[in-house]
Homo-oligomer: A and B are copies of this chain.
């Protein structure tokens, strides 16, 4: 630190650092050494060594008065040496998020309410729907809304082109399918790999496909649930981020199960989005590592 800098206390920055690399001894020491070198103090640290994949995962929060360049310079040789995939970001920076919807309002309402309440570090420059029903809700929260029907292959291709264009235009980092009831094309799934989250209205790997609540009713299950997962071309098979269940009994009709399940859908999706936005979700093959 230069004498000038030490004269007035520099304001502290808070960084979040994520690391993925092949597991081997010495990683923590090398990383923490780089952080000390950059005058950083570790305030949160979580790590995981995956036995199945041999991969090491780490998430750090660091406070420091050094600038980002100082940090990146100190980390560069460590990253190089251990072959790390890494990200560095400011703690709490709102993640630019595109939300796709159909007619059901509960997930969108929940996401936008939490965002406004300061509980969800995202910003939502756009909501896109294949139905116009949720325009008014988006408008209440001051979020632009676009809709276009998706009733045939051509319209679907159009809609997906607009999604990709919007991602580009708004520098979208996360796409949230908030009960968007269309199946994405394999191409779009591939393009969004690792940055699109879907809420499935069932406890996966339970009832897949259409109408899981009706299936749950027919099977007489005693718990119903919701699963937030990354979107992959394999429908309902993407890496699971969060799941919740709620108890039901024989007296609930399939229609009531839908209403009961919506609470779990909203909170499960919101939790997954929050963790993603806080850089707490890392991929370990078909599984997720969640640093809560």
- Count this chain's copies in the assembly: 4
Return chain B residues, CB-CB under 8 Å to A249.
Answer: 290, 292
Q: A105: nearest residue on chain B (CB-CB)?
A: B117
**Known contacts being A206-B203, A242-B222, is A33 close to B29, with CB within 8 Å?**
yes
A49-B43, A251-B48 are known contacts. Are A245 and B242 too (CB-CB below 8 A)? no
The minimal Cβ–Cβ distance linking A272 to chain B, given in whole angstroms, is 10
| B43–A250 CB distance below 8 A | no
User: What does the 1/0 interface line of A109-151 toward B look like (CB < 8 Å)?
Assistant: 1000100010100000000000000000000100000000000
Say yes or no: A240 contacts B253, CB within 8 Å.
no
Bound-state CA distance A40–B25 (Å) is 7
B106 touches A113 (CB 8 A): yes
B49→A47 contact, CB < 8 A: no
Complex alpha-carbon distance, A284 and B140, angstroms: 43
A113 to B266, CA, bound (A): 13
Rounded to whole Å, the gap between the CB of A273 and the closest CB of chain B is: 14
Shortest beta-carbon distance from A235 to chain B in Å? 15
Residue-wise interface mask of A (201-245) relative to B, using a CB-CB cutoff of 8 A (1 in contact, 0 not) = 001111100000000001111110100000000000001111111
Question: Which residue among A205, A244, A289 has the maximum number of chain B CB atoms within 10 Å of its CB?
Answer: A205
Q: Measured between alpha carbons, how far is A218 from B263 in the docked complex, in Å?
A: 28
Cβ-closest chain B residue relative to A27: B42
Q: Complex Cα distance A263/B243, Å? A: 16
A18-54 CB contact bits vs B (8 Å, 1 = yes)? 0000001110110011011001111111111111000
In the complex, A153 has a CB within 8 A of chain B: no
Give CA–CA (A242, B207) in the complex, Å: 17
A243 in complex: contacting residue of B109, B113, B222, CB < 8 Å: B222
Q: Known contacts A29-B33, A32-B28, A35-B29; decide if A250 and B290 are in contact (CB<8 Å).
A: yes
* A-B contact list, 25 entries, CB within 8 Å: A24-B41, A25-B36, A25-B39, A25-B41, A26-B36, A28-B45, A29-B33, A44-B47, A48-B251, A51-B253, A105-B117, A119-B262, A203-B203, A204-B219, A204-B221, A205-B219, A220-B239, A220-B284, A220-B286, A222-B241, A223-B225, A223-B243, A223-B244, A249-B292, A250-B290
User: 17 additional contacts, CB 8 Å, given A25-B36, A29-B29, A250-B288?
Assistant: A28-B42, A28-B45, A29-B33, A32-B32, A44-B49, A45-B47, A48-B250, A140-B140, A205-B206, A205-B221, A219-B240, A221-B240, A222-B241, A223-B225, A249-B290, A249-B292, A250-B284
